Amino acid sequence: MSYSDGKGGTVRHYNPASVLEAALSDIVDAPVTFDHPAQMVTPQTYKAVAAGHVVGAPSFQDGHVHATLAVQDANLLQALELGSCREVSMGYSVDYEENPGVTPEGEAYDVVRTAIRWNHIALVAQGRAGRSVRCMLDSQDIPTEEVNVTYMLDGAEVAQDKVQAALDALCGTRDAAIADAAGLKAQLEDAQAKLEAALSAEAIDAAVQARLDAADALKRRAEVAKIFPKLELEGKSQDYVDALYDARAKDPDGLEALSGRTTVVDAPAKSEERKSARERMIEANRAK
């Protein structure tokens, strides 16, 4: 049987006869439900979803599991009598191995089931396994040949295989939507966690402190620029600016005097005492 892989494709499962036979004991007295319940049947949900149960021990014949069902629910009994809910769909969990191959009947598969744990038997309008897997009320329901079933949809006849293909496609779309919803939920939870962290007292205090530190740095840079109007501060690190600012705080008079040295003035003429002997000789020759 084929199942959706949740990505728009399908995975073909192979049920070996030995695995089906090994799981027969799980079906003894298993609950019967009217369509599949939202979750697996548990002791907590049994009373709400059970519409009957398996009677006696099931058997495995010709590739099918045969079991006798006792149905006590009035609504399900009416659906069975009307023929609107005759097919069987098993509720179970499985173990499998990804080991592609071909069945003895020549059908290709992607995975092999190694263990099956039956949970309940659902009576449905149309099961995944096809019309041959159904509830038979008497000997007249036992098929003697393959029956081609058609459905009327909007006034047109549609073959069963077409309906099944459409249902499988819808199931695949549903599974993909569920996977997308799970992904969106995870993203939402991650965003919520980040938002809560950003709105925490610690985060707000850190953001406020960062703004105060930035404002203080701008104030220091403006003050240093005022003291040293000709000093190029662009490209200077904040540590460089802080060093000048802190020096002014420790020794304002000394820094004020230092700031005056940044003013460019004409160099004073050399005194006679500082002139070299060569310069004095040149001047004496010019005077002659």
* Count of beta carbons in the 10 Å neighbourhood of residue 269: 8
Do residues 8 and 139 share a domain? yes
Do residues 129 and 31 share a domain? yes
Domain assignment present for residue 275? The answer is no
Domain assignment present for residue 276? The answer is no
Do residues 51 and 107 share a domain? yes
Nearest C-alpha neighbor of 64 from the set 131, 141, 161: 131
Interatomic CA distance for residues 227 and 220, integer angstroms: 11
Do residues 122 and 12 share a domain? yes
Do residues 130 and 170 share a domain? no
The structural domain count of the chain equals: 3
For the stretch 112-156, pLDDT in tens is 999 989 899 999 888 777 777 888 775 445 444 444 555 555 666
What pLDDT, on a 0 to 100 scale, did the predictor assign at position 199? 82
Domain assignment present for residue 281? The answer is no
What pLDDT, on a 0 to 100 scale, did the predictor assign at position 133? 81
Do residues 188 and 237 share a domain? no
Do residues 177 and 190 share a domain? yes
Domain assignment present for residue 277? The answer is no
> Domain range spanning residue 172?
148-199
3-state secondary structure 65-124: EEEEEEECCHHHHHHHHHCCCCEEEEEEEEEEECCCEECCCCCEECEEEEEEEEEEEEEE
Domain assignment present for residue 181? The answer is yes
In the listed set 106, 127, 145, which residue is the last one of a domain according to the structure? 145
Do residues 189 and 224 share a domain? no
- pLDDT, mean of residues 168-178: 75
Interatomic CA distance for residues 221 and 247, integer angstroms: 13
- Looking up tokens 């728009």 gives 8
For the stretch 68-113, pLDDT in tens is 999 999 988 888 888 788 888 888 888 989 888 888 888 898 889 9
Helix (H) or strand (E) holding 70: strand 64-71
